[in-house]
């Protein structure tokens, strides 16, 4: 199977995941124009971790997890933050990529769809961004903290909404977490920033 075919399979699995989750369907429609754009692979430790230790998946999330694991070695993995901001241990156990969006493996300007891995025991500190956001949990689990709302533990198939510029954070405990995240609104290509 070619690189493009592997990514197309991952996109199909992502579309099926989106269709299976009422909160995702309500958050944003599936984009009607999505064009494959080859991007240079960029390896990070998360590429191996998402394959070797993704955390528990549900029956419904397993097809998506399997598709993400298949493209893990050929993804343009990214780090948003620096070692000074989050520490080396965090960066050694974290990575994300843009599957579809303004700068993704598939180009669309209607939404941004990213996937990410965080290892056990990490604290993803308070941060925010202009686009509205819907987290969906593919495997593992984490405690989601949102300013003005109660903390919630989420596992596979569960979702969490964040309003525009609403500070939020996440804590992993004994297991990692793999998420698929949808953004909508202005600033889709902008990075998040740490909150005050």
Q: How far is CA 23 from CA 35, 125, 134, 171, in A?
A: 25, 25, 8, 22
What's the CA angle centered on 57, arms 43 and 51, to 5 degrees? 25
Q: How far is CA 115 from CA 107, 147, 172, in A?
A: 15, 23, 16
Q: What pLDDT score was predicted for residue 196?
A: 72
Q: What pLDDT score was predicted for residue 148?
A: 87
pTM of the predicted structure, to 2 decimals: 0.96
104 and 122 Cβ atoms separated by less than 8 Å? no
Q: What pLDDT score was predicted for residue 4?
A: 96
Go through the domains of the chain in sequence order and give each one's CATH number: 3-27+40-185 (2.60.120.10)
Q: What pLDDT score was predicted for residue 194?
A: 87
Nearest to 100 by CA among 20, 22, 41, 15: 15
Q: What pLDDT score was predicted for residue 111?
A: 97
- In tens digits, the chain (196 residues) has pLDDT values of 899 999 999 999 999 999 999 999 999 999 999 999 999 999 999 999 999 999 999 999 999 999 999 999 999 999 999 999 999 999 999 999 999 999 999 999 999 999 999 999 999 999 999 999 999 999 999 999 999 899 999 999 999 999 999 999 999 999 999 999 999 999 999 989 888 7
């Amino acid at each position: 199977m070619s690189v493009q075919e592997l990514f197309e399979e991952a996109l199909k699995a992502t579309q099926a995941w989106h269709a299976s989750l009422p909160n995702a369907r309500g958050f944003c429609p599936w984009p009607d124009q999505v064009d494959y754009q080859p991007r240079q692979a960029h390896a990070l430790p998360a590429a191996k971790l998402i394959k070797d230790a993704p955390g528990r998946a549900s029956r419904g999330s397993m097809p998506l997890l399997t598709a993400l694991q298949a493209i893990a070695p050929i993804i343009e993995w990214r780090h948003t933050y620096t070692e000074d901001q989050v520490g080396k241990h965090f960066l050694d156990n974290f990575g994300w990529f843009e599957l579809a969006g303004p700068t993704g493996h598939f180009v669309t300007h209607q939404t941004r769809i990213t996937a990410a891995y965080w290892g056990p025991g990490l604290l993803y500190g308070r941060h925010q961004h202009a686009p509205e956001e819907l987290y969906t949990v593919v495997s593992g689990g984490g405690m989601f903290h949102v300013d003005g709302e109660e903390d919630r533990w989420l596992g596979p198939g569960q979702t969490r909404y964040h309003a525009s510029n609403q500070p939020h954070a996440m804590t992993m405990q004994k297991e990692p977490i793999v998420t698929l995240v949808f953004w909508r609104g202005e600033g889709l290509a902008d990075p998040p920033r740490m909150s005050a």
